[in-house]
Chain A
Amino acid sequence: MSLSSDEYKKMGEKAVPKTKSIRNLTGAFLIGGAICALGQFILNFYLDLGLSTPFAGTACSITLVGISALLTGFGVYDKIAKFGGGGTLVPITGFANAVVSPAMEFKSEGFILGLGVKIFTIAGPVIVYGILASVIYGIIYWIMGLL
């Protein structure tokens, strides 16, 4: 073909239909907001039970992860995600979906080499880089405390 990849890229951009930004943003706002409001409800529930704030927060996370796992298992979470997009990706329920779905998918390759190896195939980087960032912060915080 007698054309450069830059020229072709320009042709390609014209041919790709536009994403429905407004519709997607609405979906993300509504679903994401709803999940956070649900989180607030669960958090208040645990606080009312008399749990301390950090423990109530942890219990809330565990509950949301459990709900997400159930919805993923029943094949519903991905359907909500079609509408929710960022609203289902960003909350901790999205993290749970990213752990649960490969666990289900790759058990066909066995519990050790399938499920065990691939369970963090999507969410692994979140833990790796979250911890790395926190350790770097911890060291800086420690040095600043020495000064």
Chain B
Amino acid sequence: MEYLKAFAVGGLICCIGQILIDRTKLTPARILVGFVVSGVILSALGLYEPLAEFAGAGATVPLSGFGHTLAKGVRASVADNGILGAFTGGLSATAGGITAAIVFGFIAALLFDPKDK
């Protein structure tokens, strides 16, 4: 059941992305920015947490979940450290994913060459 919920909710969130690809001329980077910022806003309004509790990875793996993690990090950090937390909370909470992308990106570039299509 848990997997089914993750599959269904995650799939539906991705469908929103697909509609943006097909129906608008938005470039991928713009769509991704839209998802992250929406995640921050929905989380700030208290709407994303219930979705994450319901769908688990179905809500946290899409990039809107990345926005949710940013917002959650800021919230916790502001509660602990005041205004300074607004500056440290977001990146601290998402450091793992961003650092992993840089590290694995670098390693992949060392090991692989792009191929013709």
| Chain A positions near chain B (C-beta within 8 angstroms) | 19, 21, 24-25, 27-37, 39-44, 54, 57-62, 64-66, 68-70, 72-75, 78, 84-87, 89-96, 98-101, 103-105, 107, 115, 119, 122-123, 125-127, 129-131, 133-135, 137-142, 145
Look across to chain A and name the residue whose beta carbon is closest to the beta carbon of B31.
A89
Chain A binding surface SS class? helix
Q: Give B48 Cβ to nearest chain A Cβ, in Å.
A: 12
Known contacts A19-B22, A130-B66, A142-B86, A90 near B74 by CB under 8 Å: no
B61 within 8 A of partner (CB): yes
Q: Give A104 Cβ to nearest chain B Cβ, in Å.
A: 5
Known contacts A66-B100, A86-B16, A130-B36, A36 near B10 by CB under 8 Å: yes
Q: Which residues B86-104 have CB closer than 8 A to chain A?
A: 86-87, 89-91, 93-94, 96-98, 100-102, 104
Q: Give B95 Cβ to nearest chain A Cβ, in Å.
A: 8
| Chain B positions near chain A (C-beta within 8 angstroms) | 2-3, 6-22, 28-33, 35-37, 39-41, 44, 55-58, 60-67, 69-71, 73-75, 77-79, 82-83, 85-87, 89-91, 93-94, 96-98, 100-102, 104-109, 111-115, 117
In the complex, the number of residue pairs spanning A and B with C-beta atoms less than 8 Å apart equals 280
Check A33 against B14 for contact (C-beta < 8 Å). Answer: yes
